[in-house]
Amino acid sequence: MQTTPQIPQPGHYGVIDVQDVRDFIFDRTLEDNQVGLDLAFSDDEITKAMRFAAMRYNETTPYVDTVNAAYLKHGMLFLNGIAYGLYLSKLQQLSRQDITYQAGSMTIDAIKPQLDHLTAFVKIFKDEFERLAKERKLWINTANAFGSY
């Protein structure tokens, strides 16, 4: 049975919480999201993205380190991984609603600009997460082989 990790309360030094994620992706207030007039991601969506970021990290080679989704540290590494998961899920959701309308000589694709915007974000966050995860795991692997440096 899969369970959603319990996110530690603020005050656990170095552990990423839902508010850290909101701050990182500017998803904190209605003013941050004037177009949608709502928070883009629920606490549950963020918590699931944290779990998926941990899973992605644990599956990254070399297999020298694993993390628990309830206690994600290493700030920028996992903030990028969580943001990648959130924007990827939003991209998948909007892709299902992507319909092009034809009215006379006009073609309208209302969601395409959002899809293009999200696709750019997904690439940025994915690339940074993968780079930081690989660098961390290579550092751990090297430190284990030659002693800490």
CA-nearest of 9, 49, 12 to 27 is 49
pLDDT digits (tens, 9 = 90+) for 54-102: 999 999 999 999 999 888 988 899 999 999 999 999 899 888 877 776 7
Domain count, the chain: 1
Token pair recorded at residue 82: 């969580």
**Residue 110: inside a domain, yes or no?**
yes
- Min mean pLDDT across 11-15, 48-52, 110-114 is at 11-15
pLDDT digits (tens, 9 = 90+) for 108-145: 777 788 888 889 999 999 999 999 999 999 999 998 88
> How many CA atoms are closer than 13 Å to the CA of 30, on its beta-carbon side?
2
**Residue 8: inside a domain, yes or no?**
no
Q: Are 60 and 133 in contact (CB under 8 A)?
A: yes
Look up the pTM and report it.
Answer: 0.78
Residue 87: predicted pLDDT: 92
Residue ranges making up the domain that contains 126? 18-139
**Residue 37: inside a domain, yes or no?**
yes
**Residue 12: inside a domain, yes or no?**
no
